[in-house]
Amino acid sequence: MRLLEDILYPVYIALGPVAWAMLAFLFYLAHGRMNKLHRPVLTLPQPASRVTILVPAKDEESQIGACLDSILKQDYPFFSVVVINDRSTDRTGAVVEEYARKDRRVKAVHVERLPSGWLGKSHALHVGADHADGQWLLFVDSDVKLEPDALRATLALCEMRKYDAASLLTRLECVTWWEKLILPLAAGLWSILHTVSLTNSDSRPQQAAANGQFFLIRREVYAKVGGHQCVRAEITEDVELMRRIKLEGFRTRLFMGREFASTRMYSQPRAMFHGWARIFSGTARRRPWRLLIGSFFLIFCTLSAYLAIVWGIFRMIHPSDVPHTWGWLASGLVHLALVTTLIGLIYRFSGNPRRLALLLPASAMGILAIFAFSLWKCITGQTSWRGTLYPRSISPDLATNEG
100 Cβ neighbours under 8 A, 6+ residues apart: 83, 106, 107, 108
Q: CA-CA distance, 157 to 37, in Å (whole number)? A: 8
Residue 135 and residue 219 in contact, taking contact as beta carbons nearer than 8 Å:
yes
CA dist 220 and 240 (Å) reads 18
Helix (H, G, I), strand (E, B) or coil at 108: strand
Has residue 359 been placed in a domain?
yes
Domain annotation covers residue 60:
yes
Beta bridge partners of 55: 83
Number of domains present in the structure of the chain: 2
Per-residue tens of pLDDT for the chain, all 403 residues: 565 666 888 899 999 999 999 988 888 888 888 999 999 999 998 899 999 999 999 999 999 999 999 999 999 999 999 999 999 999 999 999 999 999 999 999 999 999 999 999 999 999 999 999 999 999 999 999 999 999 999 999 999 999 999 999 999 999 899 899 999 999 999 988 888 878 898 989 889 999 999 999 999 999 999 999 999 988 899 999 999 999 999 999 999 999 999 999 887 888 888 889 989 988 887 788 989 999 999 999 999 999 999 988 887 787 665 555 678 889 999 999 999 999 999 998 888 899 999 999 999 999 999 999 999 888 887 665 555 555 554 443 333 333 2
Domain shared by 220 and 362, yes or no: no
pLDDT at 393: 45
Tell me, what amino acid is at 110? H
From residue 109, how far is each of 57, 92, 133, 388 by CA, in Å? 10, 11, 14, 21
235 and 87: one domain? yes
**Do residue 151 and residue 246 come from a single domain?**
yes
Q: What is the pLDDT at residue 390?
A: 56
Same domain, 118 and 218: yes
Domain, as residue range, for 109: 36-170+211-267
Is residue 18 located within the same domain as residue 93?
A: no
Burial class (CB in 10 A: 0-12, 13-18, 19+), 44: middle
Q: Is residue 400 part of a domain?
A: no
11 within some domain: yes
Query: 110 in the Ramachandran plot: left (φ > 0), alpha (ψ -120 to 50) or beta?
Result: beta
The whole-model pTM stands at 0.88
- Measured at the CA of 303, the angle between CA 301 and CA 308, to 5 degrees, comes to 90
Q: What is the pLDDT of residue 191?
A: 87
In terms of domains, do 250 and 327 share one?
no
Longest CA–CA span in the chain (Å) reads 82
Q: Cα(54)–Cα(228) distance, rounded to whole angstroms? A: 13
Tell me which residue of 368, 348, 343, 55 sits closest to 174, measured CA to CA: 348
The answer to whether residues 163 and 296 belong to one domain is no
Domain assignment present for 183? no
Reported as a single tens digit per residue, the pLDDT across 88-147 is 999 999 999 999 999 999 999 999 999 999 999 999 999 999 999 999 999 999 999 999
Nearest to 40 by CA among 149, 145, 168, 163: 149
pLDDT of residue 401: 30
Q: 160 and 56, same structural domain?
A: yes
Among the listed residues 400, 301, 322, 348, the one whose alpha carbon sits nearest the alpha carbon of residue 17: 301
403, part of any domain: no
Say yes or no: 262 and 317 in one domain.
no
CATH code of the domain in which 110 resides: 3.90.550.10
pLDDT at 383: 61
Contacts for 41 with CB less than 8 Å, ≥ 6 apart: 149, 152, 153, 156
Shared domain check, 138 and 18: no
111 and 54, same domain (yes or no): yes
Same-domain pairing of 234 and 374 = no
